[in-house]
């Protein structure tokens, strides 16, 4: 069975500071990994994904994530936070079975 653990249900950073949202996964097969963002009262929007190939993936809005198989991690980073980054972020894992399993989410707050 697959699972995702997001460390920290709430993360608060200052505008301009580094954003780091942590995600660890468990999968018995090579995983596909995703980060989604959810703004209030909206659906989930894909930020970035890892399927195969390069382990450092870049996404929209300046975000990137690195797949580290040895650490079973897929942490999300952004060098400089912007007020518009305030949202809830979800890490997800799937296998060839196509079933997406989500973490519990991390609410990101940006302090001016």
Which spans of this chain sit near other proteins (rule: CB under 8 A)? 32, 34, 36, 42-46, 49, 51, 90, 96-105
Q: How far is the CB of 104 from other proteins (least distance, A)?
A: 5
Q: How far is the CB of 87 from other proteins (least distance, A)?
A: 14
Task: Tell me whether residue 25 or residue 105 sits nearer to other proteins (CB atom).
Answer: 105
Task: Please tell me the distance from the alpha carbon of residue 49 to that of residue 112, in angstroms, as a whole number.
Answer: 29
Task: Tell me whether residue 86 or residue 102 sits nearer to other proteins (CB atom).
Answer: 102
Strand ranges (E), 1-112: 3-7, 10-14, 19-26, 32-38, 44-50, 56-58, 64-68, 73-78, 87-94, 101-102, 106-111
CA distances to 30, 31, 34, 70 from 88, rounded to whole Å, are 26, 22, 14, 27
Task: Tell me whether residue 44 or residue 110 sits nearer to other proteins (CB atom).
Answer: 44
Q: How far is the CB of 77 from other proteins (least distance, A)?
A: 19
């Amino acid at each position: 069975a697959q699972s995702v653990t997001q460390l920290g249900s709430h993360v608060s950073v200052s505008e301009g500071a580094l954003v780091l949202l942590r995600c660890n996964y468990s999968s018995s097969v090579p995983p596909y990994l995703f980060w989604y963002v959810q703004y209030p009262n909206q659906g989930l929007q894909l930020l970035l994904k890892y399927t195969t190939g390069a382990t450092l993936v870049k996404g929209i809005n300046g975000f990137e994530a690195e797949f580290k198989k040895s650490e079973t991690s897929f942490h999300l980073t952004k060098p400089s936070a912007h007020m518009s980054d305030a949202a809830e972020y979800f890490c997800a894992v799937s296998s060839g079975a196509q079933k997406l399993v989500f973490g519990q989410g991390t609410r990101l707050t940006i302090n001016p």
